[in-house]
Chains A and B, each alone.
Chain A
Amino acid sequence: MGYFLQQLVNGLTLGAIYALIAIGYTMVYGIVGMINFAHGEIFMIGAFISLIFFVVLGVLGVTWLPLALLLVLLLAMALTAVYGWAVERIAYRPLRGSFRLAPLISAIGMSIFLQNYVLLVQGAHEKTLPPMITGGFELMQSGGFMVSVSWLQLIIVGVTLLLMVVFTAVIQLTPLGRAQRATEQDMTMAALLGIDVDRTISLTFVIGAALAAVAGLMVTLQYGVIDFFIGFLAGVKAFTAAVLGGIGSLPGAVLGGLLIGLIEALWSGYCPSEYKDVAVYAVLILVLMFRPTGLLGRPEVEKV
């Protein structure tokens, strides 16, 4: 029982991170109807930028943890957002309305490019960061097993939930959100009604990238080891989360992220952990086969 609870706690932490990345997939898919295959790499870049600024701030003598965290968070979000913006501007915008496989192939190209760009400028070796936030508390003792929750895990889940609420509010209540939903419904009509479609789409990518940067920061803090290849797997899993939750739905992305995190943690806890990725892929395939609209997605009527 205790062991199970511990896996649950770990799974929720991991799931929160997936959820942050999944939001980017789901928003972009909702608005332009494509899988932003490079989104995993944006997350990876977010992780690298976070790590770099932690190191830089450490050397510069910013040692008060809350300040360092806040600075890194803001810098990483801002600079990663520029990457998100640039990717859309360079690789996707010129392809709007093109042959239907073109944007996806372009996205794969972008993903390969970004991965190898980071490999080139930051090297192939793993980058490590000493643990910055340590300690935690013991939740309970159960069945001879101590269930512990670290402060960091609390921060991760807390920040994720906070961001989720903020961005849901943005989408529901602000003019940007309205423009986004209108563009999602009908791009041409939205443009005719005076919505700057290009700007709306750009902002969607910027928001998605900023959230991925937060996920990158969390991963850097939680695991302390990153390399140029982490984006691929995280990207696929977060995409799975978005699909599981129902692509296009923000709450769906969060739910999907948490579920994927739980599946992965529980599988690792009870089954051969080298097959944990197979479990995630299997979930993806099963969901797409039997419920392509996901758990919270709207059914899609084929337009003839």
Chain B
Amino acid sequence: MMGAAPRLKDAGLAALVALALAFPLIGFETAESGVGFTTRFPWVAIAGAAVFAGRLLLGLLPQRFHLRQRASRSTAVSDGKFVKLAAAALIVFAVLLPVLPFASRRSIDLATLALIYVILGWGLNVVVGLAGLLDLGYVAFYAVGAYSFALAVQWFGLSFWEMLPLSGVTAATAGILLGIPVLRLRGDYLAIVTLGFGEIVRIVLNNWTSMTGGPNGIGDIPRPTVFGMPIAPGAPAGVTTFNHVIGIAYDPIQRLIWLYYVALAVALIINWFSLRIRRLPVGRAWEALREDEIACRALGLNPTTIKLSAFATGAMTGGFAGVLFAARAGFISPESFNFQESATVLSIVVLGGMGSQLGVALAAVILATLPEFGREFAQYRMLIFGAAMVAIMIWRPRGLFTVRAPSVRLDQT
């Protein structure tokens, strides 16, 4: 513990640094024309004072509150009771959501979006959280799913239900194709190459105008039908609408609710799949690969197939999310699939605790809905995102929810 004088000096130095940081960028704002500027020196002073106070307070805090946790290993092994309860509560809430009092077109649509992020998070979780392969171009598979759906509708007249599984297959294939060249790469090289792949996909979508419509995107993407019957106010001759069959009047909200339940069903299936596969040899191999690739090889595990299966599984999930996204918006363009989106999904996985199914779901819901609470907040969203990613890595390098349930227990025989 430091005395008062060194502590003041330390805080003073931090404040000086803050002043140097703030002086050029906060202190001045140039006019758009390139001549003339306005100054904001009071803000520079505020930044300096805030850092001084913050640094001083941080020094006064007892050691155990410090944001630093050296142990990088999750030590807790939960019995899973809390997790099971929380998951059950979440599922009940999700099922009942459309009949809850605050349900509106807006909130159901938002919940659908949140579910899409949950699915994306779970998909990337396989790659990053379980297999430990940092994929910064995950959005590419999301795009492949969305575009293969939209293009199949446009060119072959296929429907949502036909393309939901097929898009998963296309995306998984893309995952394997992109996976093969990067197999030998180590962690950070892999990250940068996947980023490159993601950008290539986006640039191609943006410029191959004859195929993808370029920046204008593709519209008129149909919503899912109910057992082949659309939900619509009136139908062209020969088509029966679902609301006609069950005898209720058309309301636009019905479409949203149906899509929401479809997304929920997809999410639940993926959840079941993920939980199950984690307990299968391949799932354990993913985690073993994350822990130590060299040891894996020495035990006869083939790193190539393990990595490819992780890529393919993650990509397939991303493909499903892409189809849902396209069906929800009815329109897609390359803008929706930029690096920012990859970073968002990555922060969902990181925030949720790499490897934790429930944590990722909660993080996805929070990140997807947060911007809706207060428009003021929207402009700070990415700023806080970035800061939170840094803070969480320092505080808990393995994510917020680090409770890891073992895939197998001694007493289960």
A interface vs B, CB < 8 Å?
34-35, 45, 48-49, 51-53, 55-56, 58-59, 75, 79, 82-83, 85-86, 90-91, 94-95, 97-106, 108-118, 120-123, 125-130, 224, 232, 236, 239, 243, 272, 274-275, 277-278, 281-282, 284-285, 288-289, 292, 302, 304
Contact = CB atoms under 8 A, between A and B. Distances in A.
Contacts of B301: none
Q: Which residue, of A34, A99, A113, A243, has the highest number of chain B Cβ atoms within 10 A?
A: A99
30 contacts: A51-B34, A52-B25, A52-B28, A55-B30, A55-B31, A55-B34, A55-B37, A79-B24, A86-B21, A97-B70, A98-B70, A104-B134, A105-B346, A106-B393, A109-B386, A109-B389, A111-B386, A116-B380, A120-B383, A121-B25, A121-B26, A123-B29, A130-B34, A277-B199, A278-B203, A285-B196, A285-B197, A288-B193, A289-B184, A292-B184
B355 to A, nearest CB: 12
B37 A288 contact: no
A288 B193 CA distance: 8
Contacts of A232: 339
Given A113-B390, A122-B25, A277-B203, A288 B189 contact: yes
B383 A116 contact: yes
Nearest to A49: B24
B228 interface: no
Interface string B155-194: 0000000000000000000000000011011011101110
B413 interface: no
A106 B379 contact: no
B293 to A, nearest CB: 10
Nearest to B381: A116
A113 B189 contact: no
Contact of A82 (B17, B26, B181, B199): B17
Contacts, number: 189
B11 interface: no
A58 B35 contact: yes
A243 B29 CA distance: 36
B36 interface: yes
B25 A110 contact: no
Contacts of B112: none
A74 B352 CA distance: 43
A25 to B, nearest CB: 10
For the complex of A and B, the 6 pairs showing the least CB-CB separation, nearest first, are A109-B389, A113-B386, A112-B386, A281-B196, A102-B397, A106-B393
Given A82-B21, A101-B128, 14 more contacts: A35-B188, A55-B31, A104-B188, A105-B350, A110-B386, A113-B390, A121-B25, A128-B34, A224-B34, A274-B203, A275-B203, A275-B207, A281-B200, A285-B182
B195 interface: yes
B67 to A, nearest CB: 8
Nearest to A118: B25
A102 B72 contact: yes
B5 to A, nearest CB: 22
A298 B72 CA distance: 31
Given A281-B200, A284-B193, A48 B25 contact: yes
Nearest to B393: A106
A83 B25 CA distance: 11
Q: Which residue, of A101, A121, A130, A236, has the highest number of chain B Cβ atoms within 10 A?
A: A101
A274 B205 CA distance: 11
B25 A49 contact: yes
Contacts of B92: none
Given A101-B128, A109-B393, A278-B200, A128 B33 contact: yes
B188 A83 contact: no
B385 A99 contact: no
Nearest to A247: B189
A104 B68 contact: no
A297 to B, nearest CB: 12
A284 B132 CA distance: 22
Nearest to A50: B24
Given A122-B25, A292-B189, A52 B37 contact: yes
Nearest to B133: A101
B397 to A, nearest CB: 4
A272 B197 contact: no
Contacts of B411: none
A99 B195 contact: no
A114 B350 CA distance: 19
B360 to A, nearest CB: 15
A97 B70 CA distance: 8
B20 interface: yes
B23 interface: yes
A108 B24 contact: no
Nearest to B347: A109
Interface string B63-98: 000011010100000000000000000000000000
Nearest to A282: B200
B72 A98 contact: yes
Contact of A285 (B181, B383, B397): B181
B343 interface: yes
